[in-house]
Amino acid sequence: MNGPLDSARKDPSHPGARTRGANRERAEVVGMYLEHFGLDAWPFSLTPDTSFYYDAPAHQEALNVLLVALRSGEGFLKITGEVGLGKTLLCRMLLNTLESEAVTAYIPNPHLSPVSMRLTLARELGLEPPDGVAQEQLLEMIQDRLLALAGRGRPVVLCLDEAQQLPEATLEAIRLLTNLETEKRKLIQVVMFGQPELDERLSRPSVRQLRQRITFSYDLQPLDHDGVSRYVRHRLRVAGYRGAPLFEHRALTLLYRGSGGTPRLVNVLAHKAMMAAWGEGEDQVRARHVRRAIEDTEGVSTRAHRWPWLWGGVGGVALLTGAAWLVAQAGGVLP
């Protein structure tokens, strides 16, 4: 008896066969792109991948501040920075660094009620609260767990990403958690990562008690021109590139001006510029490629056109389709 897989193998019009064919074509396009530039991986994906972490002076200083403060037992820390400056990647680097010396809890979307926040924290600590657990019981479970970990010499660090979204009631619930302590140290330390709006939230009189407990804070800044150049070279090197400078000097200058030194925008523009160079069969990214990427990116400049330079040259419509798919696979950098 023939099963659905047999039907897909025999009938090229079967949806399963078409999907496999499309996947093969996509893999070939990806292979062509990577081979063209001598790459092993995507250099400018938007996914926060710690293997691509670039220790820019500001980021390294922020990480050092966090590590020193946490190791000295400080209870409340804060990192702020504009959108796209690498706060999430810095948070993940912190979590990776602390892995062998602390128990970490990570809440990436803290737009939670106090009840949901406590439940999430409990699960991050390895607890399994029963359905409908009373808040008093839940707090007791969390405290017992924290005391047990402290008894084994294991500090607990709670990292809150996108902390500017924290409701005020949840901010207060987190402050109350930091009241839990032994005679010598806090049972839980909190690091908040957020956009500048977090500082606005914390400036309110109603949360002044929490604000007074923040002992260390750091404000991330964009990369400068040299920082952007080093950042681009670093990511290309991690992705396997070993050739001559891939971006000409004028292209890097435009990349800096268009991105304003924001790493996420550098990734977006650099990827689009490489796509433009590939579409023309060029081995080097030139200023015109970055200029076209800037024109194509919302929020950077007025959009004049969408990828017209990929029509013609090598492959026409097929190349345009493959390029759009490549962009999506590399982190969705097309708006």
Helix (H, G, I), strand (E, B) or coil at 61: helix
Q: How does 111-120 read in b/e, with b if 16+ C-beta sit within 10 Å?
A: ebebeebbbb
Residue 25: what pLDDT?
A: 65
Cα–Cα distances (Å) from 165 to 105, 205, 234, in that order, read: 18, 18, 32
Cα–Cα distances (Å) from 161 to 89, 188, 245, 318, in that order, read: 10, 16, 35, 40
11 pLDDT band (50/70/90 cuts)?
Answer: low
The sheet that has 103-107: what strands, in order across it? 103-107, 156-160, 189-194, 76-80, 214-219
Q: What is the pTM assigned to this prediction? A: 0.80
162 pLDDT band (50/70/90 cuts)?
Answer: very high
Residue 272: what pLDDT?
A: 95
Helix (H, G, I), strand (E, B) or coil at 132: coil
Residue 6: what pLDDT?
A: 55
DSSP structure class, residue 300? T
The arithmetic mean of pLDDT across residues 71-92, rounded, is 94
Structural domains of the chain in order of their starting residue, each with its CATH number: 57-219 (3.40.50.300), 223-329 (1.10.8)
CA 54 from chain centre, in angstroms, equals: 13
314 pLDDT band (50/70/90 cuts)?
Answer: very low
**What is the identity of the amino acid at 174?**
I
**Other beta carbons within 10 Å of 174:** 23
The arithmetic mean of pLDDT across residues 23-36, rounded, is 76
Instruction: Please say if the pLDDT value at position 9 is more than 70.
Output: no
pLDDT tens string 187-210: 999 999 999 999 999 999 999 999
